[in-house]
Chains A and B, each alone.
Chain A
Amino acid sequence: MIMDFQVVVLAGGVSKKLLPLVSKEIPNALLPVANRPVISYVLELLELSNLKDLIVVVEGEDAALHVGGWISAAYADRLHVEVAAVPEDVGTAGAIRAIAHHLTAKDILVVSGDLVSDVPLGAVAATHRRHDAVVTAMLCSAPVSGPSESGSSGGKDKTKKPGRYNLIGLDPTQQFLLHIATGAEVEKDLRVQKSILRAAGQIEIRADLMDAHLYAFKRSVLQEVLDQKGTFHSLKHDVLPYLVRSQLKSEALLNGISQVEENGTEKIIAQSSQQMLSQILANASEQTFHQRYVLGPNGTSFRKTHKCCVYIAGSNKYCARLNSIQAYSDINRDVIGEANHLSGYSFSAHNNIIHPSAELGAKTTVGPHCMLGEGSQMGDKCSVKRSVIGRHCRIGANVKVVNSVVMNHVTIGDCCSIQGSVICSNVQLQERAVLKDCQVGAGFVVAAGSECKGEILAKK
């Protein structure tokens, strides 16, 4: 069944939000998380669900070349991947429009390339099919952002609230998506359609869930919406809210050519009984409100509805999107920390990964939840805590690295201290540089003895 799904991975381009970490050479999709490109997490998740036919959509020709090059090298014999380049800033809806001619399957699974998760995609697809939904969105718990400082500030964590990403309205059975507010709407007053509340009887509004940007769409509906609504720019902000909003009055959507296509030669009248049948097959004891609404007071079908479903990831599942610098630090920390099964590496007894070819100086300690890449060298009396260090780095003596990500080929002089920072590839840190909460772009040279806090350092 799952093979009927066509998968589109929206890998983005070079996101401004992630500057200076990304560049034309390292677009979003290739940003390393625990020393491997972030897109590999999605690809492996898809492979795990036996979804091997993929279209990866990249914004910008250059970026597409790099992403395509890496994927074909890494997954040549495992996945069948087509990489499509679309112009920059077309938005997620525009990206789908641009590749629409490639889409042929009944349902489309749209995944964001920056998703790091272990949610079974098969379960999402099954939910979608079970309800014959036009869209199924995966929701996960909104991540608690920021570094989880251990020990002293433990009390602080209690007051910390998870960020608000979406306001999501669910029916009491938590199967249907009845309301969604995204983006700036989240901070505004809540505006819920009464007609939907009337039909459902009860809506639970949740602020602690996040739309993970993993959707299953009915292809015909998605294409029709994209065709008809030329101004729609984003799947998340335009298409999904539109489908949710119009779920009880979808005549505009489904009675066109696609309806005939969907139902073949069947008459519309037969549809309600068909729905009943599918309901029985779905093994549900009660009709869902959509059907009750359709059937109306005297059993006649007078309205068309469509279903927007949700798949809510269990609280034990990991789900995060790499769409900000903060998220980049968080995900790196988690993938070698609490969600280390995602990294694909096996951890040592000290709960860390030190590549056999890495060299450590005397009295140097690498704590748990750390990673040290291939061929990296560290001097004496260094200390690494909760950090990722890439390949072939040269690190001097007396260096402290805490809660940070150091990419490949980085040179760090003696007595440097790095805390809560991201150091991109080929950066040179001269002696006694002190960085706290900084991002250093690729190839940048930090002068000896400089002290920086909360700065972005990058080549002009």
Chain B
Amino acid sequence: MGAPKKSGGGRVSVSEDSDELVRVPLQAILLADSFNTKFRPITLECPKVLLPLVNIPMINYTLTWLESAGVEDVFVFCCAHSKQVIDYLDKSGWLSQPNFSVTTIESHNSVSAGDALRLIYERNVIHGDFVLISGDTVSNMSLTQALAEHKERKKKDSNAVMTMVIKRSKTNPVIHQSRLGTEELFMAIDPDTKQLLYYEERTDLSKGILHLDKSLLADNPSLTLHHDKQDCYIDICSPEVLSLFTDNFDYQHLRRHFVKGLLVDDIMGYKIFVHEIHSNYAARIENFRSYDTVSRDIIHRWTYPMVPDVMNYGNTATKLERQGMYRASEISQSQSAVIGPFTVIGFGTKIGNNTIISDSVIGKGCKIGSNVCIKGCYIWDHVTIEDGCKLNHAIVCNEVTLKSGAILEPGVILSFKVVVGQEFVVPPYSYVSLLQQPVEEDSDEELEYADSTSVITSRVDKSDEEDASEVPDTHISSVSELGMGGVGYIWQKYEDNEDSRDDFFEREVEATFLRAVNENIQEDHLILEVNSLKLSCNKLTADCAGALFYAMMKYAVDTPHISLDGLMQNVKAVLTKWKKALRSYLTDIDEQIEIILKFEEICLESAKEYAPLFTKILLYMYNEDIIEEDAILSWEDEKRDADEADKVFVNKAQDLIQWLKVAEEEDE
């Protein structure tokens, strides 16, 4: 070793050289498919990433940010409506940028982000660290620091495969949602290393305890639990992430499967870290609520430079005027029209007399008549609003027509080309589309594109769908849901099902049980089927016990009965018949407690008929050896410190509990 080499300058140049040798341009994978159905009905016709956000298709925000953050090579993964996305990128010039290469990868059979990443892995195009982002993200953060941290960690520990970007956000305590409409998120983070130790989204609100494995604390003297952070869905990943998806072919969802899988698996020891941003902006548009929130943030310039007048997308310039008003050119506006602050008006839009617009975004080429009132709305391009309409917090897609006097109540979504009839009042939170609502055959995990074709064909045989809108003059037989001259279907809301359990697993178990009852299937087979459901849904035995018990009680209450005695007879019959199946999930005391808790829940919510029978049935189950006395006693114990409201049933069962306690003492 010569002296010059040892000197500082020499070393730097050497390391730079070695960096240069392995240097690969910073790459990014942009998922131009959200793999969910939150934006239906709009996404049946148009891919989510092309939906206009303050008059600019969403994907532009993401691509512009990637370009400004120093990414040189972007792979856009298109699945739903891939043709539209590719055409758009081509037309808008993204595919022919000089120093920013955008490559599209098309797939027709990917149903999840996992599939997408597996496909990209097969293509073998990612050679170094990459940014994983979906095409509906708006951000202005600088990647430099996060990237440097990621590389630094990677150098020390090759298992540090991912850095997630998070941001502070307080969840509303009443609705358990953040400002962006995302569900609450619990995380545990090592405060020193910023390693992510625990990640829980889609929390079960009924469970009041956050359960962390003791091994998490074994190595750390401290950890921080967070409920005040939001996941920005911007990830810096090492190439291993792709191979991990390939190795674990059942990983579908980036968070629910991949992140959880990595955190739970302690054999491979892969680690995920977080990078918190403070003053920068990053948010993903996941649902209509965040669409609204992010739009407002853009108009209020939190996302600068991602604001309409700077991005000046296309050939029309938008100017910022006082009070946060953005106006494109060639607007014709009546003297008497009042346009309030924080409003965006697109190119070539015409606004009639005495029209009032506030806090809204209006696209290009819209025709708005006289005496119209628009408040907090997102009106896309070429929309025609006739005189006297009132719009309140609605999203109105391209080429919609509102006939004179139509009223949109808050939360209405009108998809492309819908026509609302004269003086028709669209009820609050309705989704209206030209396409009929797809039959809800599978759960939330389906694809945007999946039934865009099938729906159109099925539309023909539509005759008398539910008449959700009680319009007196329904003489136009085909499309009369939207009043005189209206075109479109009002979708039924599936969120408002009387059955509020969104748990796929419970529903499946219930269906399985009913099948077993109706087709007289043997108990062993029922157990086998429930077991397979347990494995496929990754549930615990206690969940099986709870779900099966629920199914039984539901069946008992659904079986016709006249009095409480009749109901009791039903319960006895069901429990006696299927005792064995239920018992096979009740080997442990915890599972028995789960059943009692479930029973309480049933009595409180789904089948209040049971409430007077609570103690009786509990005693019956005890006598039938379905639950043991220890379970009842620990249940009581668990409830000791609960709110009085939660103790209703404990108090009801107090006689039984006392009796058990006395019996226990006598035994001794």
Interface residues of chain A, those whose CB is within 8 Å of chain B, are 162, 167, 169, 187-195, 197-208, 242, 245-246, 249, 252, 293, 297
Among A197, A249, A293, the residue within 8 A (CB) of B186 is: A197
For the complex formed, measure the closest distance between the CB of A12 and the CB atoms of chain B, giving whole angstroms: 28
Q: Are A202 and B211 in contact (CB under 8 A)?
A: no
Q: How far is the CA of A334 from the CA of B343 in the complex (A)?
A: 71
Q: Are A205 and B209 in contact (CB under 8 A)?
A: no
Known: A192-B210, A202-B228, A207-B221. 18 other contacts (CB 8 A): A167-B217, A189-B214, A190-B212, A190-B217, A191-B211, A192-B225, A193-B208, A194-B210, A195-B208, A197-B225, A197-B227, A198-B227, A201-B170, A201-B226, A202-B224, A204-B222, A249-B643, A293-B173
Q: Are A207 and B210 in contact (CB under 8 A)?
A: no
For the complex formed, measure the closest distance between the CB of A338 and the CB atoms of chain B, giving whole angstroms: 21
Q: Are B220 and A193 in contact (CB under 8 A)?
A: no
Q: Are A190 and B216 in contact (CB under 8 A)?
A: yes
Residues of A within 8 Å of B224, CB to CB, are 202-205
Q: Is B174's beta carbon under 8 Å from chain A?
A: yes
| Contact of A194 with B186 at beta-carbon distance under 8 Å, contacts A189-B214, A205-B217, A246-B641 already known | yes
For the complex formed, measure the closest distance between the CB of A295 and the CB atoms of chain B, giving whole angstroms: 11
Residues of B within 8 Å of A246, CB to CB, are 641
For A167, give the chain B residue with the smallest CB separation.
Answer: B217
Q: Are A204 and B191 in contact (CB under 8 A)?
A: yes
Q: Is B184's beta carbon under 8 Å from chain A?
A: yes
Q: Are A192 and B212 in contact (CB under 8 A)?
A: yes
Q: Is B621's beta carbon under 8 Å from chain A?
A: no
Q: Is the interface of B mostly helix, strand, loop or mixed?
A: loop
Residues of B within 8 Å of A191, CB to CB, are 209-212
Residues of B within 8 Å of A207, CB to CB, are 217, 220-222
Q: Are A189 and B641 in contact (CB under 8 A)?
A: no
Q: How far is the CA of A187 from the CA of B214 in the complex (A)?
A: 7
| Contact of A194 with B226 at beta-carbon distance under 8 Å, contacts A188-B214, A201-B170, A293-B173 already known | no
Of residues 158 through 199 on chain B, the ones whose CB sits less than 8 Å from some CB of chain A are 170-174, 176, 184, 186, 188, 191
Residues of A within 8 Å of B207, CB to CB, are 194
Please list 22 pairs of residues, one from A and one from B, whose beta carbons are closer than 8 Å in the complex, sorted by A's number: A167-B217, A187-B214, A190-B213, A190-B214, A190-B217, A191-B209, A191-B210, A193-B210, A197-B225, A197-B227, A198-B227, A200-B227, A202-B228, A203-B225, A204-B222, A205-B223, A205-B224, A206-B222, A208-B221, A249-B643, A293-B173, A297-B173
| Contact of A245 with B222 at beta-carbon distance under 8 Å, contacts A190-B216, A193-B209 already known | no
Q: 6 closest A-B pairs (Cβ-Cβ)?
A: A201-B228, A190-B212, A208-B221, A203-B225, A192-B210, A206-B222
Q: How far is the CA of A193 from the CA of B207 in the complex (A)?
A: 9
Q: Are B227 and A201 in contact (CB under 8 A)?
A: yes
Q: Are B214 and A198 in contact (CB under 8 A)?
A: no
Q: Is B203's beta carbon under 8 Å from chain A?
A: yes
For the complex formed, measure the closest distance between the CB of A139 and the CB atoms of chain B, giving whole angstroms: 13
Among A169, A192, A199, A204, the residue within 8 A (CB) of B209 is: A192
For the complex formed, measure the closest distance between the CB of B264 and the CB atoms of chain A, giving whole angstroms: 14
Q: Are B174 and A297 in contact (CB under 8 A)?
A: yes
Residues of A within 8 Å of B211, CB to CB, are 189-191
Of residues 428 through 444 on chain B, the ones whose CB sits less than 8 Å from some CB of chain A are none
Most chain A beta-carbon contacts within 10 A, residue among B188, B207, B641, B644: B641
For the complex formed, measure the closest distance between the CB of A194 and the CB atoms of chain B, giving whole angstroms: 5
Most chain B beta-carbon contacts within 10 A, residue among A189, A198, A249: A198
Residues of A within 8 Å of B210, CB to CB, are 190-194, 197
Most chain B beta-carbon contacts within 10 A, residue among A188, A203, A246: A203
For the complex formed, measure the closest distance between the CB of B29 and the CB atoms of chain A, giving whole angstroms: 31
For the complex formed, measure the closest distance between the CB of A239 and the CB atoms of chain B, giving whole angstroms: 12
For the complex formed, measure the closest distance between the CB of B367 and the CB atoms of chain A, giving whole angstroms: 41
| Contact of A205 with B225 at beta-carbon distance under 8 Å, contacts A191-B209, A242-B641 already known | yes
Q: How far is the CA of A195 from the CA of B173 in the complex (A)?
A: 9
Residues of A within 8 Å of B228, CB to CB, are 201-202
Q: Are A189 and B221 in contact (CB under 8 A)?
A: no
For A201, give the chain B residue with the smallest CB separation.
Answer: B228
For B203, give the chain A residue with the smallest CB separation.
Answer: A194
For the complex formed, measure the closest distance between the CB of B27 and the CB atoms of chain A, giving whole angstroms: 34
Residues of B within 8 Å of A202, CB to CB, are 224-228
Residues of A within 8 Å of B641, CB to CB, are 242, 245-246
Q: How far is the CA of A202 from the CA of B184 in the complex (A)?
A: 13
Q: How far is the CA of A41 from the CA of B86 in the complex (A)?
A: 79
For B188, give the chain A residue with the smallest CB separation.
Answer: A205
For A189, give the chain B residue with the smallest CB separation.
Answer: B214
Q: How far is the CA of A173 from the CA of B396 in the complex (A)?
A: 46
Q: How far is the CA of A193 from the CA of B186 in the complex (A)?
A: 12
For the complex formed, measure the closest distance between the CB of A298 and the CB atoms of chain B, giving whole angstroms: 10
Q: Are B217 and A194 in contact (CB under 8 A)?
A: no
For B226, give the chain A residue with the smallest CB separation.
Answer: A202
For B205, give the chain A residue with the smallest CB separation.
Answer: A194
Residues of A within 8 Å of B171, CB to CB, are 198
For A190, give the chain B residue with the smallest CB separation.
Answer: B212
For A192, give the chain B residue with the smallest CB separation.
Answer: B210
For the complex formed, measure the closest distance between the CB of B155 and the CB atoms of chain A, giving whole angstroms: 23
For the complex formed, measure the closest distance between the CB of A241 and the CB atoms of chain B, giving whole angstroms: 10
Most chain A beta-carbon contacts within 10 A, residue among B170, B188, B212, B217: B217
Q: Are B222 and A189 in contact (CB under 8 A)?
A: no
For B642, give the chain A residue with the smallest CB separation.
Answer: A249
Residues of B within 8 Å of A189, CB to CB, are 211-214
Residues of A within 8 Å of B644, CB to CB, are 252
For B175, give the chain A residue with the smallest CB separation.
Answer: A297
For B200, give the chain A residue with the smallest CB separation.
Answer: A194
Q: How far is the CA of A381 from the CA of B223 in the complex (A)?
A: 53
For A252, give the chain B residue with the smallest CB separation.
Answer: B644
Q: How far is the CA of A193 from the CA of B632 in the complex (A)?
A: 23
For A164, give the chain B residue with the smallest CB separation.
Answer: B217
Residues of A within 8 Å of B208, CB to CB, are 193-195
Residues of A within 8 Å of B188, CB to CB, are 205
Residues of A within 8 Å of B223, CB to CB, are 204-205
Residues of B within 8 Å of A249, CB to CB, are 643
Q: How far is the CA of A162 from the CA of B213 in the complex (A)?
A: 20
Of residues 210 through 242 on chain B, the ones whose CB sits less than 8 Å from some CB of chain A are 210-214, 216-217, 220-228
Residues of A within 8 Å of B214, CB to CB, are 187-190
Q: How far is the CA of A188 from the CA of B223 in the complex (A)?
A: 16
For the complex formed, measure the closest distance between the CB of A197 and the CB atoms of chain B, giving whole angstroms: 5
For the complex formed, measure the closest distance between the CB of A363 and the CB atoms of chain B, giving whole angstroms: 47
Q: How far is the CA of A194 from the CA of B174 in the complex (A)?
A: 14
Q: How far is the CA of A29 from the CA of B217 in the complex (A)?
A: 35
For B176, give the chain A residue with the smallest CB separation.
Answer: A198
Q: How far is the CA of A203 from the CA of B217 in the complex (A)?
A: 14
Q: How far is the CA of A162 from the CA of B220 in the complex (A)?
A: 11
Residues of B within 8 Å of A206, CB to CB, are 221-222
Most chain B beta-carbon contacts within 10 A, residue among A169, A187, A201, A208: A201
For the complex formed, measure the closest distance between the CB of A272 and the CB atoms of chain B, giving whole angstroms: 17
For the complex formed, measure the closest distance between the CB of A118 and the CB atoms of chain B, giving whole angstroms: 23
For B210, give the chain A residue with the smallest CB separation.
Answer: A192
For A178, give the chain B residue with the smallest CB separation.
Answer: B225
Residues of A within 8 Å of B212, CB to CB, are 189-192
Q: How far is the CA of A242 from the CA of B209 in the complex (A)?
A: 15
Q: How far is the CA of A188 from the CA of B214 in the complex (A)?
A: 6
Q: How far is the CA of A199 from the CA of B176 in the complex (A)?
A: 11
Q: How far is the CA of A199 from the CA of B171 in the complex (A)?
A: 9
Residues of B within 8 Å of A188, CB to CB, are 214
For the complex formed, measure the closest distance between the CB of B228 and the CB atoms of chain A, giving whole angstroms: 3
| Contact of A208 with B222 at beta-carbon distance under 8 Å, contacts A190-B212, A193-B208, A293-B173 already known | yes
Q: Are A198 and B222 in contact (CB under 8 A)?
A: no
For the complex formed, measure the closest distance between the CB of A302 and the CB atoms of chain B, giving whole angstroms: 11
For the complex formed, measure the closest distance between the CB of A398 and the CB atoms of chain B, giving whole angstroms: 45
For the complex formed, measure the closest distance between the CB of A236 and the CB atoms of chain B, giving whole angstroms: 17
For the complex formed, measure the closest distance between the CB of A190 and the CB atoms of chain B, giving whole angstroms: 4
Residues of B within 8 Å of A198, CB to CB, are 171, 173, 176, 184, 227
Contact with A along B634-649 (1 / 0, CB 8 A): 0000000101100000
Q: How far is the CA of A349 from the CA of B173 in the complex (A)?
A: 63
For the complex formed, measure the closest distance between the CB of B542 and the CB atoms of chain A, giving whole angstroms: 15
Residues of A within 8 Å of B203, CB to CB, are 194
